[in-house]
């Protein structure tokens, strides 16, 4: 090759390298960030219904999660009450396996402490963990050093009646908080935790659990007059007129009143109380929306948001007069259906999408293990959400089993234990005798089962369990449900 030609080739190669080297450097930085161990932020509300996670009531959170992540249209809690649901979140187990069946159960009387939890396993794998807010009902509020490095827990793990004056345990020291709104206080502590997490130079887990919108659902003073013109909530199931298709425990609810025609008819006071409770609940979510937004904004400002797996969920839903009910613990859609969304760009690059995949609270723990690249416990009832997050039409199950246990003294309707199966279209519920149980609510025989076709009966107005047109459907669901037996005593982990 002639000298001039060689020089021309070298010049061209140098020009190419001038462009290639910066590009390679940029990719290397991106690859390094992607390879970094992810952080985790679990945002959990208390008793928030799936239909309250909207741009009307939580606009800031919606922008971060719904617009930039993946929203789950069919997310459920397998046991729709606070403590069992939260125990399932931590363990990935159904209530019958971790043993926390009701809010009133002492953890030492269950299998919960012996069950592997993602909090403990993350900490053992080098994570810096923080818990702020509500842990589990009946937990005495003191720190759990085997799981968390930073702790702000409510006394008895429950919800205080006064949201401006309350007692918390801050890293082992009991403190009376005065004249500070509870959600704002939790946000201050979340920022303190994030400061410490940054100092630790470790990947972190923030478990941020609000009291809102649980009763008494006290709004922040700045939000007391929000939604003054909010339209009334009046679905067809709202204090429905015909309960003859429902099981006896519903037909015999002690607060049912009757009109001149002999049909169920709510009093004006009952309707007003229901409307007032709804207003307080959505107003209390305004401060939660602000707090969630502040956490997102800080993570983005510090450049760690895109390497942080953020999951939002409510522990359970609750009823607002549907079928004359105002509580949770039961298998109706408003009780078992929860809001849920995930933002994690390595998996949710198609931000702003929704999925109809059937998912549940028990799926959170196995998802965290997979995202963190940590070996999961050998037995879990939940399934990792990663296939749903990665694939446009990803699914992890065709049906979901749910369960409810005998009521105790924690309030709500006196309802029998139940087991249920929910698929894309139907829900089938069976009630169980609990003779011999230590409960003020004893049912000496199984109650009428319930079957609802959610495609044609969205509001669960017509129990199809005795309809001959649905006999094949019912038999098929019953056969599957029979394989999911509720033991008389909690099974020891991991025997499912």
Distances (CA, A) of 347 to 64, 89, 203, 412: 15, 21, 18, 40
Please state, in angstroms and rounded to a whole number, the distance separating the CA atoms of residues 142 and 87: 17
Q: How many helices (H) and strands (E) does the chain have?
A: 12, 15
Please state, in angstroms and rounded to a whole number, the distance separating the CA atoms of residues 112 and 493: 9
Q: Say what percent of the chain tops pLDDT 70.
A: 86
Report pLDDT digits (tens) over 450-494: 999 999 999 999 999 999 999 999 999 999 999 876 444 333 333
In a domain, 460, yes or no: no
- Span 270-298, mean pLDDT? 98
In a domain, 80, yes or no: yes
The average confidence (pLDDT) of the chain is 89
- Span 180-190, mean pLDDT? 99
Please state, in angstroms and rounded to a whole number, the distance separating the CA atoms of residues 173 and 188: 17
- Span 385-403, mean pLDDT? 94
Nearest to 46 by CA among 283, 210, 230, 244: 210
Q: Is the pLDDT of residue 134 over 80?
A: yes
- Span 304-308, mean pLDDT? 97
In a domain, 431, yes or no: no
- Model pTM score: 0.89
Provide the CA 348 distance to its chain's centre, in angstroms.
19
Please state, in angstroms and rounded to a whole number, the distance separating the CA atoms of residues 268 and 378: 54
In a domain, 27, yes or no: no
Q: Find the domain containing 305 and state its range.
A: 36-395
Query: What Rg, from alpha-carbon coordinates, does the chain have?
Result: 25
In a domain, 447, yes or no: no
In a domain, 9, yes or no: no
User: What per-residue confidence (pLDDT) applies to 307?
Assistant: 98
Copy the structure tokens of residue 315. Answer: 């522990």
Q: CATH number of the domain that 267 lies in?
A: 3.40.720.10
User: What per-residue confidence (pLDDT) applies to 35?
Assistant: 46
Please state, in angstroms and rounded to a whole number, the distance separating the CA atoms of residues 73 and 68: 16
In a domain, 15, yes or no: no
- Span 165-169, mean pLDDT? 97
Domain count, the chain: 1
In a domain, 479, yes or no: no
DSSP 391: S
**Range with the lowest mean pLDDT among 51-55, 155-159, 163-167?**
155-159
């Amino acid at each position: 090759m002639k000298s001039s030609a060689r020089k021309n080739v070298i010049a061209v190669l140098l020009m190419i390298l001038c462009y290639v080297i910066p590009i390679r450097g940029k990719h290397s930085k991106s690859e390094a960030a992607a390879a970094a161990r992810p952080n985790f932020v679990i945002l959990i509300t208390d008793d928030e219904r799936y239909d309250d996670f909207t741009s009307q009531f939580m606009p800031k959170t919606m922008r971060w999660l719904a617009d930039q992540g993946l929203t789950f249209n069919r997310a459920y809690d397998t046991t729709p009450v606070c403590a069992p649901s939260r125990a399932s979140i931590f363990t990935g187990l159904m209530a019958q396996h971790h043993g926390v069946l009701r809010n009133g159960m002492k953890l030492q009387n269950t299998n919960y402490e012996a069950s592997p939890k993602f909090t403990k396993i993350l900490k053992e794998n080098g994570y810096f963990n923080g818990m702020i807010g509500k842990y589990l009902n009946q937990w005495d509020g003191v720190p759990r050093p085997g799981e968390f490095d930073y702790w702000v827990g409510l006394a008895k793990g429950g919800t205080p009646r006064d949201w401006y004056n309350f007692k918390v345990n801050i890293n082992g020291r009991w403190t009376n908080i005065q004249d500070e709104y509870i959600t704002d206080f939790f946000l201050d502590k979340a920022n303190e935790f994030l400061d410490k997490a940054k100092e630790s130079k470790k990947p972190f887990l923030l478990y941020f659990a609000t009291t809102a919108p649980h009763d008494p659902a006290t709004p922040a003073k700045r939000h007391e007059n929000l939604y003054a013109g909010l339209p009334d909530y009046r679905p067809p199931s709202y204090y429905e007129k015909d309960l003859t298709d429902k099981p006896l425990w519903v037909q015999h609810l002690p607060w049912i009143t009757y009109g001149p025609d002999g049909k169920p008819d709510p009093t004006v006071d009952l309707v007003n109380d229901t409307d007032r409770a709804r207003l307080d609940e959505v107003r209390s979510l305004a401060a939660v929306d602000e707090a969630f937004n502040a956490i997102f904004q800080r993570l983005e400002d510090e450049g760690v948001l895109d390497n942080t797996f953020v999951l939002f969920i409510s522990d359970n839903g609750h009823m607002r007069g549907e079928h004359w009910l105002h509580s949770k613990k039961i298998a109706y859609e408003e009780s078992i259906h929860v809001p849920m969304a995930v933002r994690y760009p390595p998996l949710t690059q198609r931000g702003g999408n929704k999925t109809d995949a059937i998912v549940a609270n028990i799926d959170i723990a196995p998802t965290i293990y997979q995202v963190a690249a940590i070996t999961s416990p050998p037995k879990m009832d939940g399934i990792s959400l990663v296939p749903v997050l990665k694939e446009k039409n990803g699914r992890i199950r065709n049906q979901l089993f749910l369960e409810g246990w005998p009521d105790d003294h924690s309030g709500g309707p006196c309802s029998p234990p139940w087991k249920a199966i929910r698929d894309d279209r139907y829900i089938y519920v069976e009630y169980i005798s609990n003779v011999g149980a230590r409960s003020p609510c004893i049912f000496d025989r199984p109650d009428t089962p319930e079957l609802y076709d959610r495609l044609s009966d969205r509001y669960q107005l017509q129990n199809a369990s005795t309809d001959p047109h649905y006999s094949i459907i019912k038999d098929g669901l019953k056969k599957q449900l029979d394989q999911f037996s509720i033991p008389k005593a909690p099974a020891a982990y991991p025997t499912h």
